[in-house]
């Protein structure tokens, strides 16, 4: 069954409410029956008590006080004006023992009235008499109605009180749990995790909290180790690279070296250059991860774009491309690290140049939905759809591409993450690629 | 010129020494900060190349110290970390230039020469070739008093070739000099070729001399 996903708190509250609804419905169905059972018993008890009183009276006053023997009809009847109750005594012809309570109808003053009637036979002065005591159904019904109303009100009150109490208790009970969830939600990175323990008297939650804390510690540790590792290794690598490069430079400076050897050394230098660039980029990435760059500079994006363009225009001309601008002059300065943002834009534009053989590269700034948007689009060879998801990964090899995108875009992504810039890419093969940056601040 | 090389990595230090000595610089080596500290206290240096990542000494302290005894010395800081803060602190303390490892020795030499020109107000900041004159301070090229229209990068490239005249410069060295830290891992060497082509075209408008020689498979050489 496909149930919607809900918070634990909501689920418990929902279950509580549902179970209460169930109880109420059951009670609502049962209450009329119970109430009528109670009223009948109550009425019957009343009738029996009245009968005892009547019998007592008859015993003390004698039956004659009620029944006039001279009269043709040997009977006595008393009704109250509202016909709520009646008592009747009449002589029975035969010796019959009667002792029942039942419903029966009587005509009183020409009006048909429904009664609950207690019929009881007694022997008095050698004669058999039947005493009947009745209570009108409408009276009973009124009583029943009152009782029902009271019962409903009471039920309702109980339910409301318990429901509120339950929800409050669930809220109170699950509060630590919610705090744990909130902590996790607020954590973008283990280093930003809030390690203050959640206050709780529930063992399970305390255990959960502790476990998450210790896991977070481990993850953070692993992260730190990896960062330090990359940072150290980059640093350690740069020194030997530097030695090799110096040695090669010294060999090249030797003017007696034959051309063939010189070419081989040039080749090595080229390779070493690639290695250097890679290590430097890795180092920069790990430094960003270590948050070594300040983000407090006021950066004018349009200015920055112009600086990048100036730096890169020779490459544009060399490939006979055109660099177009569509800059929104009113975009405000952003907070960030100018150096990193320069590298970011430079890398993206440089990448566009590299994969564009003809046409143009366009840099666009705009404001959309209160966000600054920067777009860099080209008319280049495009990127295969299956490669798009891996574009920003380190050292991802593209089987159908001669050279990988290397670290340039991974660095771009890192700079974006550091500045909380959302970077996305759209591309169509042989048509071009468009990188979009959305500045969130 | 007397140079002190302070570098804990002996392999690198000796290479720098070898290279600079070929260029007629008189070099001393210090492998530790303490050694450097002693040498600085005793000898007058024109240049101090300082690796600030010394294991036994805070390189930045060494600058302060050296400024006491060797107030005339010029500093080029070398670091493998490339931290911006170190760079800024270094400049604050009076460092004159900054190189991130790994650097090409030619780049180091050209930085040394640039500082020399700047600080010593060298004989002439103007280099003549043919009827051209290149002003290395004001950064422009003239032909018989007429300015030659070069882009920034073209000027940078040409002046680098001229300053290292009669020496073969490979494409990597040129790329590194022009684009600095932005040079690409796939280094698009053809950009250099395009620039050279443009420079040649511009120079050819004034005289027929082929100043920039192509050295096949390696790079270019400016011949005077």
Q: Which domains does chain B have, with CATH numbers?
A: 2-119 (3.40.50.2300), 126-222 (1.10.10.10)
Query: CB B200: neighbour CB atoms within 10 A?
Result: 15
Measured CA distances, B41 to B5, B33, B37 (Å): 14, 12, 6
Distance in angstroms (rounded) separating the CA atoms of residues A378 and A312: 15
Q: Report the CATH architecture of A203-289.
A: Orthogonal Bundle (1.10)
Q: Is the pLDDT of residue A87 over 90?
A: no
CA-to-CA separations, A274 to A155, A308, B184, in angstroms, rounded: 81, 22, 8
Most confident of A144-148, A177-181, A262-266, A277-281: A177-181
pLDDT confidence of residue A390: 82
Per-residue pLDDT at A402: 47
Q: Are A351 and A409 in contact (CB under 8 A)?
A: yes
- What pLDDT does B182 receive? 59
Query: Tens digit of pLDDT for each residue in B44-56?
Result: 888 999 988 788 8
Question: What is the DSSP secondary-structure string of A82-139?
Answer: TSSEEEEEEE-SS----EEEEEEEEEETTEEEEEEEEEEEEEETTEEEEEEEEEEHHH
> How far apart are alpha carbons B44 and B66 in whole angstroms?
10
CA atoms within 13 A on the CB side of A438: 9
A346: chain B residues, CB-CB within 8 Å:
182
- B residues 66-95 closer than 8 Å to A (CB): 80-84
Three-state secondary structure call for residue A245: helix
Contact A364, A375 (CB under 8 A): yes
Task: Give contacts of B151 with chain A, Cβ < 8 Å.
Answer: 313-314
Closest alpha carbon to B105 in B63, B137, B76: B76
Q: What's the pLDDT score for residue A433?
A: 93
What number of C-beta contacts closer than 8 Å exist between A and B?
A: 116
Label the pairing between strands A85-91 and A127-136: antiparallel
* DSSP designation for A375: E
Do A297-439 and A203-289 have the same topology in CATH?
A: no
The least confident of A157-161, A425-429, B51-55 is B51-55
Question: Phi and psi dihedrals of A314, rounded to 5?
Answer: -60, -40
Nearest-CA distance A278 → chain B (Å)? 7
Cβ-defined contact of B102 to A238 (cutoff 8 Å): yes
Q: How far is A214 from chain B (nearest CA, A)?
A: 33
Q: Which fold has domain A297-439?
A: Heat Shock Protein 90 (3.30.565)
Sheet holding B140-143, edge to edge: B126-129, B132-135, B140-143, B146-148
B171-184 burial by CB neighbour count: b if 16+ within 10 A, else e?
bbbbbbbbbeebbb
B194 contacts on A by Cβ (under 8 Å): 314, 317-318
Of B16, B81, B187, the CB nearest to A235: B81
Distance CA A254, CA B99 (A): 24
Look at residue A295 and tell me whether its pLDDT is greater than 90. no
pLDDT for A403 beyond 60: no
Per-residue pLDDT of chain B (224 residues; tens, 9 = 90+): 899 999 988 999 999 999 999 888 999 999 998 999 899 888 888 899 998 878 888 877 888 888 888 778 888 988 876 666 667 777 777 788 888 888 888 889 988 888 887 776 655 678 888 889 888 778 889 898 889 988 888 898 999 999 888 888 888 788 878 877 655 555 555 788 888 998 999 999 998 888 999 988 788 999 88
Return d(Cα A202, Cα A205) in angstroms, integer.
Answer: 6
Gap from B17 CA to chain A (nearest CA, Å): 10
Overall average pLDDT of the A122-137 stretch = 83
Q: Cβ–Cβ of B15/A246 closer than 8 Å?
A: yes
A309-326, pLDDT tens digit by residue?
988 888 888 888 999 999
Binary contact (B185, A249; C-beta < 8 A): no
Q: Is the pTM of this model over 0.90?
A: no
Q: Which residues on chain A are in Cβ contact (under 8 Å) with B170? A: 252, 266, 269
> What's the confidence (pLDDT) of residue A17?
87
Q: Identify the DSSP state of A364.
A: E
Domain assignments of chain A as residue spans, ordered by start: 10-146, 203-289, 297-439
What pLDDT score does B121 carry? 61
What ipTM is given for this predicted complex? 0.80
* pLDDT tens for each residue of A62-77: 777 777 766 666 677 7
CB contact under 8 A, A406 and B185: yes
- Average pLDDT, integer, range A337-356: 91
Where helices occur in A104-254 by DSSP H, the ranges are 137-185, 203-253
Nearest to A368 by CA among A269, A296, A438, A281: A438
């Amino acid at each position: 069954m496909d149930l919607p996903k809900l918070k634990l708190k909501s689920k418990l509250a929902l279950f509580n409410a549902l179970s209460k609804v169930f109880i109420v419905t059951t009670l609502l169905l049962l209450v009329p029956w119970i109430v009528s059972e109670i009223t009948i018993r109550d009425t019957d008890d009343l009738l029996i008590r009245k009968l005892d009183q009547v019998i007592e009276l008859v015993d003390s006053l004698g039956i004659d006080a009620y029944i006039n023997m001279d009269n043709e009809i040997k009977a006595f009847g008393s009704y109250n004006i509202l016909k709520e109750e009646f008592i009747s005594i009449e002589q029975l012809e035969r010796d019959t023992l009667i002792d029942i309570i039942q419903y029966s109808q009587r005509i009183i003053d020409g009006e048909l009235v429904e009664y609950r009637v207690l019929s009881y036979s007694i022997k008095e002065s050698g004669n058999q008499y039947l005493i009947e005591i009745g209570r009108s159904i409408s009276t009973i019904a009124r009583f029943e109605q009152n009782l029902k109303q009271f019962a409903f009100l009471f039920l309702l009150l109980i339910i409301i009180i318990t429901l509120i109490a339950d929800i409050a208790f669930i809220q109170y009970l699950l509060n630590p749990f919610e705090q744990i969830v909130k902590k996790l939600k607020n954590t973008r990175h283990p280093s930003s995790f809030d390690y203050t323990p959640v206050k709780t008297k529930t063992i399970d939650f305390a255990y959960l909290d502790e476990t998450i804390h210790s896991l977070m510690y481990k993850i953070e540790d692993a992260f730190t180790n990896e960062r330090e590792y990359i940072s150290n290794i980059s640093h350690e690598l740069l020194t030997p690279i530097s030695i090799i490069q110096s040695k090669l430079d010294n060999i090249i400076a030797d003017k007696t070296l034959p051309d063939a050897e010189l070419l081989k050394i040039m080749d090595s230098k080229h390779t070493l250059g690639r290695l250097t660039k890679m290590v430097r980029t890795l180092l920069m990435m790990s430094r960003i991860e270590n948050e070594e760059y300040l983000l407090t500079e006021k950066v004018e994006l349009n200015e920055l774009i112009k600086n990048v363009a100036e730096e890169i225009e020779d490459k544009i001309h060399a490939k006979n491309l055109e660099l177009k601008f569509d800059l929104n002059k009113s975009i405000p300065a952003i907070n960030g690290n100018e150096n990193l943002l320069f590298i970011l834009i430079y890398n993206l534009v440089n990448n566009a140049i590299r994969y564009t053989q003809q046409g143009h590269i366009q840099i666009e700034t705009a404001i959309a939905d209160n966000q600054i948007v920067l777009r860099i689009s080209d008319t280049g060879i495009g990127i295969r759809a299956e490669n798009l998801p891996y574009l920003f990964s380190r050292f991802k090899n593209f089987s159908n591409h001669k050279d990988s995108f290397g670290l340039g875009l991974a660095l771009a992504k890192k700079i974006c993450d550091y500045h909380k810039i959302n970077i996305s890419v759209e591309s169509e093969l042989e048509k071009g690629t468009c990188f979009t940056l959305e500045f969130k601040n | 010129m007397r140079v002190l090389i302070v570098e804990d990595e002996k392999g690198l230090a000796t290479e720098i020494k070898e290279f600079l000595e070929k260029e007629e610089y008189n070099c001393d080596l210090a492998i530790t900060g303490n050694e450097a500290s002693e040498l600085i206290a005793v000898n007058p240096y024109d240049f101090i190349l300082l690796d600030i990542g010394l294991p036994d000494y805070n390189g930045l302290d060494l600058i302060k110290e050296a400024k006491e005894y060797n107030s005339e010395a010029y500093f080029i800081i070398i670091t493998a970390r490339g931290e911006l803060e170190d760079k800024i602190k270094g400049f604050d303390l009076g460092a004159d230039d900054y190189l991130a490892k790994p650097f090409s020795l030619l780049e180091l030499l050209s930085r040394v020469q640039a500082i020399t020109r700047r600080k010593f107000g060298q004989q002439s900041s103007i280099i003549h070739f043919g009827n051209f004159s290149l002003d290395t301070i004001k950064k422009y090229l003239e032909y018989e008093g007429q300015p030659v229209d070069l882009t920034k990068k073209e000027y940078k490239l040409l002046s680098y070739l001229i300053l290292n005249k009669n020496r073969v410069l490979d494409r990597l060295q040129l790329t590194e000099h022009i684009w600095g830290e932005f040079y690409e891992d796939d280094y698009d060497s053809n950009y250099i070729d395009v620039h050279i082509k443009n420079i040649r075209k511009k120079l050819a408008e004034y005289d027929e001399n082929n100043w920039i020689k192509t050295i096949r498979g390696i790079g270019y050489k400016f011949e005077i």
